[in-house]
Amino acid sequence: MKRRRRKKRAIGGNLDSLLDTLTNVVGILVIVLVTVQLASQEAASRIAESVQKIDPVEIERSEAQSRQSQEKAAKAAAALKQAQAAPRQDAGQEIARLEARAAVALEVARLATARAIELEQKHLDDSAVTKRASEAARVEKVKLEAERKQADDRRAALAVELTKMPLPIKLPAKEVRLPDPRPAPTGAKEARVLCREGRIWLVDIPGLQAEAQKRAASVVRQKKLDPDGDDWLSDGKLFTKTFNESPIKSSGFELTIMIPGNRPEIVLKRLPGSGETAENTIKASGELARALRRVKPSEYFLRFFVWPDGFTAYLQVREFVGGRGFAAGWEPVGSPDEQRIGLGKYAIGSKPPPEPPKPPGPQLPPKPAPNLID
């Protein structure tokens, strides 16, 4: 009789398939951890390359993040080793735990890589700004070098010109007479001389008065300002306005009229480019030299009006006048006002009645001559 085979129980089945599956899962997790480790090392090497170009604070922050990533990777590796050495547990729970740890490690690696990329971009931006600033500094340096070279060339040229200039001549000491007024020679007339801006003007008082009186007489007749014919004018404002509408230009001056009181005065305004230098006026053909040849020292004395900018010219002309035997005096002038001389004719208003004759009495001594020379 054939013996029956004993059927095997399903409960005592082979567990090799489960072990293969668990081993495959563990192998995959090992590969994932190795990949994570390599990514972390690559990010750390990239961060290390840009360490020298990054700010120390950023370097410390990146190193801290790298240390954290390495610690987490080490913890994951330790956990894996522990899982391999530990007794077998439920496969599903172990896989879930390992996948969670792998996800955390991957996120840490991603954050570290993103931070490294951000630092590298910041370094590139800073490098571009630094490059532009360096280029601007280079251009400015080239410009300053060119300006310095021009200044050096100019200084060298001036030094050459200075060596070619003659040595200054030491001038003799000048004798300056302080004003010490005393009476002018008896019967001598005044010849006025203006010394200003290094130039000399000889004021021909009689000639200028004659020209102004001629114009004044024409204005008086035209406007009928002297109805009584006594040289007392009825309207001083109209007389001044009409006279000054067309000023007289003569002998280097422009002549106008003003009336400070009741007697008109001639205002002498110097014309541009008029007057003579001290050297020219004392030459034989100069105006002052020719005028002094026509008169005698007993007939005229010279009165100088001297502005600060004409003092040197005055000294030169005064020496020339003294050598010709003419008496002279000078008066310093600080005001910018122009010179004035009397018109010598006409008054403004109504002619006053004649004064009654004075009773005879002791005769007063004549007034002393004004102190006009020194």
- Sketch the domain layout of the chain as residue ranges: 21-152, 188-352
Is residue 10 over pLDDT 50?
no
Tens-digit pLDDT profile for residues 192-246? 999 999 999 999 889 999 999 999 999 999 999 988 888 889 899 999 999 999 8
Q: What is the DSSP letter of 249?
A: E
pLDDT value for 32: 80
Tens digits of residue pLDDT in 155-164: 888 788 777 7
Residue range 345-359, pLDDT digits in tens: 899 888 888 777 777
Q: What's the rounded mean pLDDT across residues 281-307?
A: 91
Q: Could you give the percent of the chain with pLDDT greater than 70?
A: 79
Our measurement of the distance from residue 73's CA atom to the centroid of its chain's CA atoms, rounded to an integer in Å, reads 68
Q: What is this structure's pTM?
A: 0.50
Helix (H, G, I), strand (E, B) or coil at 149: helix
**pLDDT tens digits, one per residue of 258-272:** 998 889 999 999 999
Is 70 exceeded by the pLDDT of residue 61?
yes
The pLDDT value recorded for residue 367 is 66
Q: What is the pLDDT of residue 167?
A: 67
Give 279's pLDDT tier (boundaries 50, 70, 90). very high
One-letter identity of residue 143: K
Helices (H), the chain: 16-49, 56-85, 91-164, 205-223, 236-244, 278-281, 287-293, 311-323
Asked if residue 6 has pLDDT above 70, the reply is no
Residue 33: the pLDDT is: 79
* Res 60: pLDDT: 75
- What mean pLDDT comes out for the span 325-332? 89
Return all residues near 312 (Cβ < 8 A) that are at least 6 apart.
198, 278
Segment 174-197 shows an average pLDDT of 78
Residue type at position 250: S
pLDDT at 39 over 60: yes
- Give the lowest-confidence range in 93-97, 132-136, 316-320, 331-335: 93-97
Phi-psi sector, 49: left (phi>0), alpha (psi -120 to 50), beta: alpha
Q: Residue 125's pLDDT band (boundaries 50, 70, 90)?
A: confident
What is the model's pLDDT at position 54? 56
Mean pLDDT of the chain: 80
Q: Does pLDDT of 1 surpass 50?
A: no
What mean pLDDT comes out for the span 169-181? 60
Question: First CA to last CA across the chain, in angstroms?
Answer: 183
CB contact at 8 A, 329 and 190: no
d(CA 110, CA 104): 10
| pLDDT at 276 > cutoff 90 | yes
